[in-house]
Structure 1
Amino acid sequence: MPYFYLTVLIVLLDQATKWLVQTKMVPMQSIGLVRGLFSFTYATNYGAAFGILQSQTLLLIAISLGVIITVWVNRRKMNQYPRMMQVGLGVALGGALGNLTDRIRLGFVVDFLDFYIWPIFNVADMAIVIGVVLIVLGIFSKDQRKGNQEPENMQGVEKAVSREEKS
C-alpha cells in the first residue's frame, strides 16, 4: 500500500495547482512562460481528454468512481502485481481522484498547462497518462516478480544459508 502515498501526493499537487490557477487567473486568461512553446492558460473542461464527452459530467463521474472503486476493492492484491504496475496504479488513481474532485465540486475540470500543439491539460491528466504507461510497462515487463516477493533463486540461497548456520 505504500504506493497510495503517491495517490495522495498527486491529488494534493493537482488540487493545489488548480486552486492557484483559479485564484490568480480568469477563464481563458493566458500567461506566456516560454514564448511560442508553453503558457498557463486557464480553461474549463466540461468533457474528458481531447474534448470528448462534452457536458457528460454524470457519466464521467460514474466512470471515474467505477475505476476508483475497482482499484480500492483490489488494493489487498496490489503486492501480487509487478512493482511498476503498483506504482502506475497509485499514480493513475491520484489523477482520477484529482479530476473527479473537480467534476463533483465544480461541474468541470480546471486545465491550465498549454503547450500550444497539444490540448490544454493539468497535473491529474499527466498522472493518468504516466500511470497507464507504467501499468502497461509493468504488464509487459520481463521482471515479473511480484511486489515485495524475492526471486526464487534468492529464497533457495536463504534456505541454504539458514541450514549452514544451524550446523
Structure 2
Amino acid sequence: MTEPLAQRARSTAQPTWRAIALVSLIAAMVLVVDQISKTLVMVTLGPGAGGGAFEVVPGVLWLLYVENTGAAFGLFQGRNPLLALVALVIVLLLAIWFRAVAAATPWGALALGLQIGGALGNVVDRLRHGFVIDFIDVPFWPTFNLADSAITIGVAILLVVLLRSDAQRASQGERQDRRG
C-alpha cells in the first residue's frame, strides 16, 4: 500500500541548503532564458516589428508572435488576474511540496525548478503585458513558449521520480514482509 502524500511529506527529511539552492538556480535560469526569448520574439516578430512567422524547419517548426490572454490551449481567455493568482498559488504549493520530493533527489529538484521557473515566467508576462507571449508553433500542437516547455518537462520528470519512489517503496516493503 502506498502512503498518502501528506504522510510522505512529514516522513521526508528537511531539504538541504544545497537542494534549495539547486531548485532556486534552475528556476532563476528558466525565468531568465524564458524572458530573454520572449523579449527577442517581441522585438523581432511582435507588433511594429514587421510581424509574420519565421519558418525554422520547413513544414515543422515556426516562430511567431502570439498574445495569449488565456491558459493552456486557449482556455479561460481574458481571465488574466485569476490566471496569475492561480499560477502563484501553484508555485507556493510546489515550494511546500518541495519538502516531500526535492530533498530526496536531485531529479526532484530539477523537476520543481523547471516548474517553478516556467510558472514564474508566465506570471511575469501576465503582470507586465496582460498576456503571455507564445512563439513556438508546430503543426500538431497549440503555440507555446519556453516556460510552457519547462513546466511540461518538469511535470514529466516529477512523474518519473514519484513512480520510481513508489516502486522502490513497494520493493522495500516486499523485502521486509519476506524477512519478518
Q: Same fold (TM over 0.5)?
A: yes
> Which residue is equivalent to 1:100?
123
- Identify which of 63, 68, 78 aligns with 2:91: 68
How far apart, in 2, do the equivalents of 1:121 and 1:77 lie? 30
How many residues in Structure 1 have an aligned counterpart in Structure 2? 145
- Identify unmatched segments of 5+ residues in structure 2: 1-19, 170-180
Cα distance, 1:70 vs structure 2: 2.3
> Which residue is equivalent to 1:140?
163
Q: Percent identity?
A: 34
Helix, strand or coil: the match of 1:120? Answer: strand
> Which residue is equivalent to 2:54?
31
Task: For 1:7-46, list aligned pairs within 5 A.
Answer: 7-27=27-47, 29-46=52-69
Equivalent position amino acid for 2:27 in 1 = T
How far apart, in 2, do the equivalents of 1:144 and 1:81 lie? 13
Give the CA RMSD over aligned residues: 2.0
How far apart, in 1, do the equivalents of 2:75 and 2:168 lie? 35
How far apart, in 2, do the equivalents of 1:79 and 1:20 lie? 33
Cα distance, 1:87 vs structure 2: 1.5
Q: Does 2:101 align with 1:55? A: no
Cα distance, 1:139 vs structure 2: 0.6
Helix, strand or coil: the match of 1:3? Answer: helix
Deviates more, 1:74-83 or 1:106-115: 74-83
Helix, strand or coil: the match of 1:41? Answer: strand
> Which residue is equivalent to 1:4?
24
> Which residue is equivalent to 2:150?
127
